[in-house]
Amino acid sequence: MVERQELIVAMPKGRIFGEALELLRKAGLDMPQDLTEDSRKLTVTVPREKLSFLLVKPVDVPTYVEHGVADLGVVGKDVLMEEERDVHELLDLEISPCRVSVAGLPDWKPVLNPKVASKYPRIADQYFREQGQQVEVIRLNGSVELAPLIGLADRIVDIVSTGRTLKENGLVELEEIASVTSRLIANRSSYRLKSRAVDELYERLGKVVEQGRVGV
């Protein structure tokens, strides 16, 4: 019998981590107890499953996968849309749901060439271009909801999940741009050269996603 090839998976630290790990465990993978988000270790090898994990910033997952230092990765659709990396999107894991939306103050009024603050400058720019609106996008790395409150921007484009951050800052969701879940992505060469191992993991995870959907 041919040995299954080893796979390297880029795992996002932060919000997605716990849910992704749970999914892998539900898929029957015997994951080590030291694979935790607060560990300072950046690589974890699981020889019995022929898997290695790179623990990286969510926004960097597509970079590791595109460059082939990871065969697979788990990443939010928001990051995939923003980063536009050349990777293969294999499976919607249906975890960490949220949406990318436009938000602003409730009394927001249209102005000529409005300023839009966002952690997602590419998504924001593309969205307003498609709407035929000329905007100036201001890139921020966090606390984006502050921007309309202090006059830095007229509107924001950011992630909304529970809506709590908007509410606590007196903002309202104006338009949804995209709904977001996490995806399993693959390096294009790995997808061909390690197809047996990739397919096996894909099928196991696909079954768990399916079971979750029907509430098994």
Ligand X SMILES: O=P(O)(O)OC[C@H]1O[C@H](OP(=O)(O)OP(=O)(O)O)[C@H](O)[C@@H]1O
| Tokens found for residue 89 | 């999107």
Q: Which does 96 bind (CB under 5 to 8 A by kind): ligand ATP, ligand X, none?
A: ligand ATP
Q: Considering the complex, what minimum distance in angstroms separates the CB of residue 113 from ligand ATP? A: 28
Q: Contact region for ligand X (CB under 6 A) — 24-32, 105-113, 155-163, 181-189?
A: 155-163
By CB under 6 A, name the one of 35, 59, 159, 172 that touches ligand X.
159
133 Rama class: left (phi>0) / alpha (psi -120 to 50) / beta = beta
Radius of gyration of the chain (CA): 19
Residue 71's binding partner out of ligand ATP, ligand X, none, with CB under 5 to 8 Å set by partner kind: none
Those residues whose C-beta lies under 8 Å from the C-beta of residue 7, and which sit 6 or more positions away, are 50, 51, 52, 71, 72, 190, 194, 197, 198, 201
Check binding of 159 to ligand ATP (CB under 6 A). Answer: yes
Residue 176 or 203: which CB sits closer to ligand X? 176
What's the rounded Cα separation, in Å, for the pair 76 and 182? 4
Interaction partner, residue 104 (ligand ATP, ligand X, none; CB < 5-8 Å by kind) = none
Q: Is 170 helix (H, G, I), strand (E, B) or coil?
A: coil
Considering the rule CB under 6 A, would residue 145 count as an interface residue with ligand X?
yes
> What residues numbered 43-72 form the site for ligand ATP, per CB under 6 A?
57-59
Q: Is 31 in the site for ligand ATP (CB under 6 A)?
A: no
Applying CB under 6 A, does 81 fall inside the site for ligand ATP?
A: no
**Which one of ligand ATP, ligand X, none interacts with residue 172, CB within 5 to 8 A by kind?**
none
Which residues have a Cβ under 8 Å from the Cβ of 214 and sit 6 or more positions away? Answer: none
Binding residues for ligand X restricted to 50-79, rule: CB under 6 A: none
Cβ of 210: how many Cβ atoms within 10 Å? 11
